[in-house]
């Protein structure tokens, strides 16, 4: 037996080779690396080998363990999809029919945003330098200037996400100041984050107004007239992730703003998804737009940078110049500040709106606007390329998702996969997720269906190959 190998026979009493011997086997293939990193990987491989042997598995040779160390190290080197099962992020195809899928990373960035972020990450930027004077200047304003142009606001601010934007904005009421909110708008905005909790952590007092299903301007007037309330802000929260129907009523935004201003209070309007294009043009019900709410008297409007805007996750704040300036000076704004890559990605996304390219170049809007006839043609081509009888085109309904446009769906087309004896739809769904690329689909009427509205046309060939692999078991 060679001196640098061990028996491949199972032996529950055997110990793995020493870390030093595994290191010696790994170093030739590891290349130029920090010695501490190689040592850490070797220790991890030896620990894993010890657990395998104790579990009754066959011991591996020194050469195999050395190669394993190299593989572990190389998994950290490459692009994000490197090393399936290691630290890499697998390539994923979203065939669920949910356009802004929270569990799948929400909005896909437009190519322009990806490139802008790449450039910002690649080298120095004029993030906080005045190009003319060479001295420190205001933080990069490109994205904020786009927001001002797109919404008609006096000023704008960008923070890490919309929850941060709301928390910062309600702080305008001051420590202990009252913030009036309709009971029907005391919502949970995702991830267990609730409006009452945000207000409490911001140090303001919540004043509940009206009832769950019906709140009128007169209800706000009653609390604003009460000097004990000390209401300094009225918060409106657009129910972007649920729908109330039936015996419901909400105050008119302009009437409420007029009332609040007469009582010396400001109006903060959280729109959540924050559409910058009319949703009616893609067959959806109207979503309130930031420009509309500012025109109706809101002093501050907050919304998300992803979701219906379709760019990187961020919190977008627009409104009165004096209030935005106050938010910018708040110490919490420093903790909520996005980095240069997010700012670059947001700016590039917003620039597409100003250039009239949003519906064509922003994936969320492109998916929303794709004609059903185009999806039908793709579904027929996809089914024809699979084994006979394995799949057939089927009409589906897609949704926006991500807490946007609740209760609305969009006609779509995809393929339904055939079932096989002894193989359930759940098993086939798991096989699709386990493949390369990972395909996430859904089950409908005991069939696995793949909705093409959420699959970019460029992914059709990879999707067909993944389906064929899953069907073959």
Q: What is the pLDDT of residues 203-250, one digit of tens each?
A: 999 999 999 999 999 999 999 999 888 999 999 999 877 778 788 899
Res. 11: pLDDT tops 80 = no
Q: Look at residues 172, 175, 285, 282 and name the one whose alpha carbon lies nearest to residue 238.
A: 285
Q: Look at residues 306, 369, 371, 10 and name the one whose alpha carbon lies nearest to residue 160.
A: 306
Q: Look at residues 279, 287, 210 and name the one whose alpha carbon lies nearest to residue 251.
A: 210
What is the mean predicted confidence (pLDDT) over 455-464? 96
Res. 89: pLDDT tops 80 = no
- Taking a C-beta distance cutoff of 8 angstroms, is the pair 216, 251 a contact? yes
Contacts (Cβ under 8 Å, ≥6 apart) of 238: 185, 269, 270, 271, 272, 288
- Taking a C-beta distance cutoff of 8 angstroms, is the pair 95, 441 a contact? yes
What is the mean predicted confidence (pLDDT) over 110-132? 90
Q: In this predicted model, what pLDDT tens digit does every residue of 380-423 receive, in sequence order?
A: 999 999 998 899 999 999 999 877 887 789 999 999 998 777 77
Q: Which part of the chain is CATH 3.40.640.10? A: 111-361
Res. 2: pLDDT tops 70 = no
CA distances from 10 to 3, 16, 61 (A): 19, 12, 12
Q: Which part of the chain is CATH 3.90.1150.180? A: 92-104+366-471
Distance CA 293, CA 102 (A): 26
Residue 402, pLDDT score? 78
Distance CA 20, CA 22 (A): 5
- Taking a C-beta distance cutoff of 8 angstroms, is the pair 273, 405 a contact? yes
Encoded tokens for 457: 């046309």
Residue 79, pLDDT score? 61
The DSSP element (H or E) to which 317 belongs, if any, is: strand 315-319
When the pLDDT of each residue in the chain is averaged and rounded to a whole number, the result is 90
DSSP 113-171: HHHHHHHHHHS---SSB-TTT-SB-----HHHHHHHHHH--SEEEEES-HHHHHHHHHG
What is the mean predicted confidence (pLDDT) over 282-287? 91
Contacts (Cβ under 8 Å, ≥6 apart) of 140: 125, 126, 127, 128, 340, 343, 344, 347
- Taking a C-beta distance cutoff of 8 angstroms, is the pair 209, 220 a contact? yes
Question: Which CATH number describes the domain made up of 92-104+366-471?
Answer: 3.90.1150.180
Q: Look at residues 446, 290, 310, 460 and name the one whose alpha carbon lies nearest to residue 374.
A: 460
Res. 1: pLDDT tops 60 = no
Residue 337, pLDDT score? 94
Residue 191, pLDDT score? 67
| Tokens 């269906």 -> residue | 449
Fold of 111-361: 3.40.640
| SS3 of residue 420 by DSSP | strand
Q: Phi and psi (nearest 5°) for 415?
A: -125, 145
Res. 147: pLDDT tops 60 = yes
What is the mean predicted confidence (pLDDT) over 121-137? 84
What is the mean predicted confidence (pLDDT) over 336-364? 96
Residue 330, pLDDT score? 94
What is the mean predicted confidence (pLDDT) over 18-32? 93
Distance CA 147, CA 316 (A): 8
Distance CA 439, CA 433 (A): 5
Encoded tokens for 5: 């190998």
CA dihedral 86, 87, 88, 93 (to 10 degrees): 80
DSSP 226-245: -TTT-EEEEEEE--TT----
- Give the sign of the dihedral formed by CA 93, CA 94, CA 100, CA 103: negative
Confidence at 92, pLDDT banded by 50, 70, 90: very high
What is the mean predicted confidence (pLDDT) over 101-120? 94
pLDDT more than 70, % of the chain: 94
């Amino acid at each position: 037996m060679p001196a640098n190998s061990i028996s491949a026979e199972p032996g529950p009493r055997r110990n793995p080779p020493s870390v030093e011997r595994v290191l010696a086997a790994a170093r030739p293939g590891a290349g130029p690396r920090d010695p501490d990193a190689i040592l850490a990987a070797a220790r991890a491989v030896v620990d894993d080998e010890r657990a395998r042997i104790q579990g009754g598995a066959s011991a591996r040779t020194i050469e195999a363990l050395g190669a394993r160390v190299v593989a572990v190290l190389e998994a950290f080197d490459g692009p994000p999809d490197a090393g399936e099962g290691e630290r890499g992020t697998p390539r994923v195809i979203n065939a669920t029919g949910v356009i802004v899928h929270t569990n799948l990373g929400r909005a896909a960035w437009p190519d322009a945003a990806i490139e802008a972020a790449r450039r910002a990450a690649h080298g120095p930027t004029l993030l906080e330098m005045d190009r003319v004077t060479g001295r420190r200047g205001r933080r990069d304003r490109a994205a904020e200037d786009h927001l001002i142009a797109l919404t008609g606001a006096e000023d704008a601010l960008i923070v890490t996400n919309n929850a941060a934007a709301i928390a910062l904005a309600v702080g305008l009421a001051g420590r202990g100041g009252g913030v009036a909110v309709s009971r029907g708008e005391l919502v949970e905005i995702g991830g267990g984050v609730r409006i009452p909790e945000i207000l409490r952590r911001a140090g303001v007092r919540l004043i509940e107004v009206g009832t769950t299903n019906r709140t009128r301007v007169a209800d706000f007037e009653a609390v604003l007239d009460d000097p004990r309330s000390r209401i300094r802000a009225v918060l409106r929260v657009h129910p972007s992730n649920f729908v109330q129907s039936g015996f419901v009523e909400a105050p008119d935004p302009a009437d409420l703003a007029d009332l609040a201003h007469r009582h010396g209070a400001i109006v903060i309007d959280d729109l959540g998804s924050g559409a910058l294009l009319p949703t009616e043009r893609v067959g959806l019900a109207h979503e309130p737009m930031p420009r509309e709410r500012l025109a109706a008297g809101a002093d501050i409007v907050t919304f998300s940078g992803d979701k219906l805007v379709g760019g990187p996750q961020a919190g977008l704040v627009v409104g009165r110049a004096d209030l935005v300036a106050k938010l910018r000076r708040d110490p919490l704004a420093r903790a909520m500040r996005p980095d240069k890559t997010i700012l670059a990605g947001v700016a590039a996304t917003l620039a597409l709106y100003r250039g009239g390219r949003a519906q064509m170049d922003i994936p969320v809007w492109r998916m929303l606007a794709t004609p059903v006839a185009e999806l039908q043609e793709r579904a027929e081509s996809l089914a024809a390329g699979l084994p006979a009888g394995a799949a057939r085109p089927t009409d589906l309904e897609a949704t926006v998702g991500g807490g946007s446009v609740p209760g609305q769906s969009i006609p779509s087309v995809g393929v339904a996969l055939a079932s096989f004896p002894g193989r359930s739809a759940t098993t086939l769904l798991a096989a699709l997720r386990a493949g390369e690329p990972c395909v996430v689909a859904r089950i409908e009427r005991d069939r696995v269906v793949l909705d093409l509205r959420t699959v970019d046309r460029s992914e059709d060939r990879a999707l067909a190959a993944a389906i064929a692999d899953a069907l073959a078991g």
